[in-house]
Amino acid sequence: MVVRGLGVPGISQITANQKRKDYIMKDIRYAPIGVFDSGVGGLTVAREIMRQIPNEKIVYFGDTARVPYGSKSKETIIRFSRQIVHFLRTKDVKAVVIACNTASALALETLQPELDIPIIGVVAPGAKVAAETTRNGKIGVIATESTIESRLYTRVIQEHNPQAQVFGKPCPLFVPLVEEGWIKDPVTVEVASRYLEPLLATGIDTLVMGCTHYPLLRSVLREIMGEKVTLVNPAYETARELKCLLTREGIANDGQEVPEQQAGHRFYVSDAANKFRQFANTILPFGVDTTQLIHIEDY
Amino acid sequence: MVVRGLGVPGISQITANQKRKDYIMKDIRYAPIGVFDSGVGGLTVAREIMRQIPNEKIVYFGDTARVPYGSKSKETIIRFSRQIVHFLRTKDVKAVVIACNTASALALETLQPELDIPIIGVVAPGAKVAAETTRNGKIGVIATESTIESRLYTRVIQEHNPQAQVFGKPCPLFVPLVEEGWIKDPVTVEVASRYLEPLLATGIDTLVMGCTHYPLLRSVLREIMGEKVTLVNPAYETARELKCLLTREGIANDGQEVPEQQAGHRFYVSDAANKFRQFANTILPFGVDTTQLIHIEDY
C-alpha cells in the first residue's frame, strides 16, 4: 500500500518531508486503480474506465469462485468485499471501484470508513444520473434481488430528486441468459417482457440497468421499453465519476510516468482463470495475456 | 469425530479394548449421516434418505455462500468439498453423502482416499441404474456444465454396460428457472424443448436427471420426452445405495438408541440461514426449526 504523509514533522525536517511528500504523491499518481466484481460482468466497467481515462492502469479482481453475489446476504457480501479490498491493497492501488451493483449496494457504506483511499461503487453514479435525467419523476431500476432489497438506488435517487418515484424489479434470469449467450433470443425477449411489463405500466421514462450484465441486453430492453424511455448505464457514469474524483484528489495519472511494473492492466480471479481470460478477450479492446488465480479467502 | 480402533492392543487389554470397541461401534451406529450440497437442491436427497432410512439422523450442510457449483472448476470444487467434509467430521458423522451432482463428479474420487469413513456421491448410483434400465443402450444425461465436462456419468454407465452410448447435455438455465419458481411455465417448456431436442433426436430411452434441482421439473421433462423414456432420479437411487452401505458396514442405526443430541436432523449453511429454512420447509416433510450459519472457509 502507498502511505501518504509518513513521518513526524519538525522545523528541520520540513524540506525533507516536503520532498518525501512530493515523492509519495508522485507514487500515488502512478499507482493503479483496483476494480472488482463478483465475476466477469465488472469488465464492462473496467472497459469504460480504460476508454474514458486511458492513462490509468487497472488491477481487476473477479470473484469467480463465489459468483454470483445477487442472491446472497449483506453480511456475506460485506465479508467477501472486505477480503477483496484487502487483496487489492496488496497491489498498492490508489483507489477502489466496486464494479458490482450488488456489492456497491450492500458493502460500500460499511467499507468506506475502514479505508484511507477513495472507494466508489456503481450505484451512486447511476442513481444520480437517473435522478437528473427523468422528466416525469418516474424511474425504474432493474437489478439483482439483493440490490433491489437494499433499496439503495431508491435512497440515492431521492436524495437528488426527493419527488422521484422509484420502481424496482429484480430480474434473476437475465444473468444466466446472458451467460448462456441467448442475447437476442425469443426466450430472452419473453422473459424480459414478463419482468418489464409491471415497470412499463407505471409510466417510467428512465430505466437504470442496475447489474453489470444488463447492458449486454440493451437491444432487447430498448425494444420492449420503446424509444421514449432513457436507459441509464451505471458503468459509463461510474467511469466519469472516477475521472472527476482522481482529478479532485490530485491523484490522476498525468501520463508522464508509467513505471514498468504497471505498464499493463492486471487481472486476478478466484477460479477458472482460463475461462475468464477467454471472456475478457471478447469484452476488452485488447488481448489479456495472463490472468492469475488466487485464494481470496486467505485475505 | 468418532474414532474406530483406538489404543495399542496388549494381552491384558484385549477385554478392555473389546468393550471399548463395542462401545465405539455402538456409538458409530447412532452417529448421524453427513449430507452436503452447494445449496438447497440436496434437500431432495436428504428427503429420500429420511423416507427410505427413517432411523438415520442427518447433519445437512448447504454452501449457500458459494452456490452454484455447476460452472466452477474441479480444483475449486475439491477445495470447497474438502472444507465441508472437515466441517461435517466435527459433527461426528459416520458417513458422508455428496448430494450435489457437480461435487460428486468432480471431488468424490479425490476425497475418498483421504477419509476413513464411507463417502458416496449421487453420480454412481444414478449411472448404475441408468445402465441397468436402458433397453436400446442409449442414455441421455442432463446436468450442469461441470458435471457433463467431467464425463463421470459416461464412465460409470459404461463400466456397467460397455455397449451403452451416453449423450450429455448441460442445461444451465434449469436451476435459475426452478429458483425463480417458473416450474410449469411456458418459458421453461420452451427452454427445456431447446435443450432436450438434440437428446430426443438420438433416440435415447433413458434420461438421467443429473442435478438435484431437475426432478422438480419432472412434469415438463416428461411432457417433452414422452412416456417411453424412463427418467432416472439419482436422489432415489443414492438413498437406496446408502441403506445397503450402512447395513454392509454394520453401522446402520437399529433404532434402539437415539441419543438426545441426535434426536433431530441438523441444518447448517454458509449464508442466509432464514431463506434456507423457508425453502427447506417447502421440501421436507417436517418443519425445520433452526438453521445455523457457519463460516465454511475456516474449515
Query: Where do we find the cell 448462456?
Result: A180
pLDDT digit string (tens) for A213-255?
999 999 999 999 999 999 999 999 999 999 999 999 999 998 8
Assign B258 a pLDDT band (cuts: 50, 70, 90).
low
Sheet architecture: strand order including A165-170: A165-170, A138-143, A206-209, A230-232
When pLDDT is averaged across residues B71-82 and rounded to a whole number, the result is 97
User: Which of A75, A173, A291 is best to mutate for the B interface (most B CBs within 10 A)?
Assistant: A173
Place of cell 496388549: B10
DSSP secondary structure code for residue A260 in this structure: G
d(CA B237, CA B129): 7
Q: Do B173 and A173 touch (CB under 8 A)?
A: yes
Q: How many CB atoms lie within 10 A of CB A91?
A: 15
Q: Which residue of B has its CA nearest to A193?
A: B187
Mutate to test the interface with B, among A73, A106, A270, A277 (most CBs of B within 10 A): A73
Which residues of A lie closer than 8 Å to B, measured between beta carbons? Answer: 64-66, 71-73, 75-76, 172-173, 176-177, 179-180, 186-187, 190-191, 194, 270-272, 275, 297
pLDDT of B285 reads 83
Closest among B145, B95, B146, B152 to B126, alpha carbons compared: B152
Other residues' Cβ atoms within 10 Å of the Cβ of residue B284 = 17
Q: What pLDDT does B38 receive?
A: 96
Which one of A66, A176, A180 has the shortest CB-CB distance to B65? A66
- Which pLDDT score is estimated for A287? 82
Q: Which residues of A touch B71 (CB under 8 A)?
A: 179
Q: Name the amino acid, one letter, at B46.
A: A
pLDDT at B85 over 50: yes
8 Å CB contact between A64 and A271: yes
Interface mutation target, options B191, B211, B296, chain A, most CBs of A under 10 Å: B191
CA distance to partner chain B, nearest, from residue A278 (Å) = 15
Nearest to B271 among A73, A173, A177 (CB): A73
C-alpha cell at A117: 483511499
Pick the residue from chain B with its C-alpha nearest to A170: B180
Asked if B66 lies within 8 A of A64 by C-beta distance, the reply is: no
Phi, psi angles (nearest 5°) of residue A205: -115, 0
Contacts with B271 from chain A: Cβ below 8 Å: 72-73, 75-76
Judged by CB atoms closer than 8 Å, whether chains meet at A194 and B179 is answered as no
3-state secondary structure string across chain B: CCCCCCCCCCHHHHHHHHHHHHHHHHHHHCCCEEEEECCCCCHHHHHHHHHHCCCCCEEEEECCCCCCCCCCCHHHHHHHHHHHHHHHHCCCCCEEEECCHHHHHHHHHHHHHHCCCCEEECHHHHHHHHHHHCCCCEEEEEECHHHHHHCHHHHHHHHHCCCCEEEEEECCCHHHHHHCCCCCCHHHHHHHHHHHHHHHHHCCCEEEEECCCHHHHHHHHHHHHCCCCEEECHHHHHHHHHHHHHHHCCCCCCCCCCCHHHCCCEEEECCCHHHHHHHHHHHCCCCCCCEEECCHHHC
Burial of A113 (0-12, 13-18, 19+ CB in 10 A): exposed
Q: What is the dihedral of CA B115, B119, B121, B125, to 10 degrees?
A: 130
At B94-125, the pLDDT tens digits run: 999 999 999 999 999 999 999 999 999 999 99
- pLDDT for B7: 37
Q: What is the mean pLDDT of residues B268-290?
A: 88
Interface touch B270/A172, C-beta < 8 Å = no
Mean pLDDT (chain A) is: 90
Distance from CA of A137 to the nearest CA of B (A): 30
Q: For B63, which residue in chain A has the nearest alpha carbon?
A: A66
The C-alpha of A205 sits at a distance from chain B's nearest C-alpha, in angstroms, of: 27
The catalytic residues of A are: 100, 211
Q: Enter the ipTM.
A: 0.86
Cα-to-chain-centroid distance, residue A243: 13
Pairwise CA distance, residues A284 & A69, whole Å: 23
DSSP 3-state of A189: helix
Q: Residue B194 and residue B22: Cα distance in Å, rounded?
A: 57
Task: Name the grid cell of A230.
Answer: 432513457
Residue A209 DSSP class? E
- Is the Cα dihedral A26, A27, A32, A34 positive or negative? negative
Q: How far apart are CA B48 and CA B90, in angstroms?
A: 24
Helix B234-248, helix B43-52: angle, nearest 10: 50
Helix (H) or strand (E) holding A28: helix A14-29
CA-based nearest distance B80→chain A, Å = 10
CA distance B103 to chain A (A): 14
The answer to whether residue B261 scores a pLDDT higher than 70 is no
pLDDT for B290:
85
C-alpha span between B161 and A3 (Å, rounded): 66
Instruction: Write down how long chain A is.
Output: 299
> Which of B58, B77, B84, B100 does the annotation list as catalytic?
B100
User: Could you give the C-alpha distances from B24 to A162, B8, B30, B93, B183, in angstroms and in order?
Assistant: 68, 15, 10, 13, 46
- CB contact under 8 Å between A66 and B64, yes or no, is no
Q: Which residue of A lies nearest to B187 if distances are taken between CA atoms?
A: A187
A173:B177 CB<8 A: yes
Q: Which residues of chain A have pLDDT under 70?
A: 1-26, 257-263
**Can you give the pLDDT at residue A15?**
55
Question: How many Å separate Cα B50 from the centre of its chain?
Answer: 13
Question: Chain A partners of B172 at a C-beta cutoff of 8 Å?
Answer: 176, 179-180
Is there a contact between B77 and B102 (Cβ–Cβ < 8 Å)? yes
Binding-site residues on chain B for chain A (CB distance < 8 A)? 64-66, 71-73, 75-76, 172-173, 176-177, 179-180, 186-187, 190-191, 194, 270-272, 275, 297
β-partners of residue A59 are: A34, A266
Q: How far is CA B55 from CA A173, B263, B289, in A?
A: 40, 10, 20
As a residue count, chain B comes to 299
Asked if B177 lies within 8 A of A172 by C-beta distance, the reply is no
**Identity of residue B212:** T
Pairwise CB contact (< 8 Å): B271 & A76: yes
Q: Which residues of A touch B64 (CB under 8 A)?
A: 72
